[in-house]
Every structure is written in C-alpha cells, then in structure tokens.
Chain A
Amino acid sequence: AQSVSQHNHHVILSEAASLELGCNYSYGGTVNLFWYVQYPGQHLQLLLKYFSGDPLVKGIKGFEAEFIKSKFSFNLRKPSVQWSDTAEYFCAVRGGADGLTFGKGTHLIIQP
C-alpha cells in the first residue's frame, strides 16, 4: 500500500520568507505526484503535479516542487511567500490505484 508523509503539520512564516514543505511517499512503482492547496473557505485546488520528465515542476502562484526519486520525496518550495499563501497544503500520490493517497496536510500561516 502507498502512503504519504508530510513532515510539518503547522508552519508559521513572515511575508517574503522562503518556504519549503516536505513530502515523502512510499510506493515502489511508477507514481504521479501532486500538491493541492485549500485556501480558507475554499475547496481543494491543484497547485502542481509531476507525471514524468523534468523532475523540477513549476505550478501556479510561484510554487515549484522537485521530485527526487532516490529519496521518494516531492518537496514544495516558494522563494518568497505572501500573506495570501496562508492555507492548508496537501501532498498526494497516485500509484497502483486511481484514487489519490494524501498526506495529513500542512497548515501554513503567513504573518504580515
């Protein structure tokens, strides 16, 4: 069975700080990897995804993630966060089955 681990459950940063949210997964086969974001009062929406090719993936709103196969990791990064980035962030993997397996999420708070 596949699983996803997100290392930080709560992160508090000041505006303009750099962000890195960790995500590790366990699955031995080919995977598709996703980061979803849930802004306050809104539904889950896709930030970025990795299927194949360049392991450095760029998404919306200046976010990027790097797939490191040897480390089973897909960490999310942003060089300079904004107050509007306050949200819940979920890493997810699609392995042998079509349903996604999500991590527990990271609650990010950006202080102005």
Chain B
Amino acid sequence: GAGVSQTPSNKVTEKGKYVELRCDPISGHTALYWYRQSLGQGPEFLIYFQGTGAADDSGLPNDRFFAVRPEGSVSTLKIQRTERGDSAVYLCASSMGGPDTQYFGPGTRLTVL
C-alpha cells in the first residue's frame, strides 16, 4: 500500500515568508508525528497528533510553528516569519498509535534564504 507522502519535496523561501508543509499519512493510521532534521543531526521531535488533536506539542521550537490535522488524516505544518535557522528537512511519520512502529515519509527540504 501507499506509504507516507509529503509535499512539496523541496521548498525555497525568503526570510520572513510564511510556508505550509503537507503530510499524507498511511491510510488508517491514527497517530501522526512531525520531526525536523538539521544537517548532521538526527530527527528532532516537533509535535504528535492522535486523531485531530495535538497530544504533545512540546517539541515546537516557538510560536512561529503551528500544525493542524482537522479531519484526523492529512496534516499541515505551518511556519510563520521564517528564519534562516528554520532551514532543515521536515519529516512526517504515522503509526497506529502508542508504541506501534512509526513509518516515515520522504521529507520536505526547506531552505530559507
């Protein structure tokens, strides 16, 4: 079956602009996660959804970052007033929830000029 998909695969924007990154989880997966991976680092947890609600947003770095999952399937990560330090690969993962294996998408490479 189809895996986790993310769009766009690459996004280049200018400092101060607003961006939206989309994640389509595996069908039937109730849990959805966002991670950020900077160069030379492992993925860093941002936020976790169980259904439509954000169960844990402790990893969001500041209030410029926000994510939604209005129908419990597709999720959008929104970044306001982008900064050069936001440049990274943004990864999405989904699972059946709890300790179940998280399946990762290909990521969106965000470059802020």
Contact = CB atoms under 8 A, between A and B. Distances in A.
State yes or no: do A and B come from one complex: yes
A45 B104 contact: yes
B101 A90 contact: no
Nearest to B105: A43
Contact of B48 (A99, A101, A105): A99
For A44, A49, A99, A102, the residue with the greatest tally of chain B CB atoms inside 10 Å of its CB is A99
A66 B102 CA distance: 21
A44 B58 contact: no
B101 to A, nearest CB: 5
A98 interface: yes
Interface residues of B, number: 28
Nearest to A99: B45
Interface stretch (B16-24, B35-43, B63-71, B77-85): B35-43
Given A90-B42, A101-B45, A104-B42, A46 B101 contact: yes
A36 B103 CA distance: 10
A101 B105 CA distance: 17
Given A49-B101, A51-B99, A99 B41 contact: no
Interface of A: 4, 32, 34, 36, 42-46, 49, 51, 90, 92, 94, 97-105
Interface of B: 31, 33, 35, 40-48, 50, 55-56, 58-59, 91, 97-99, 101-107
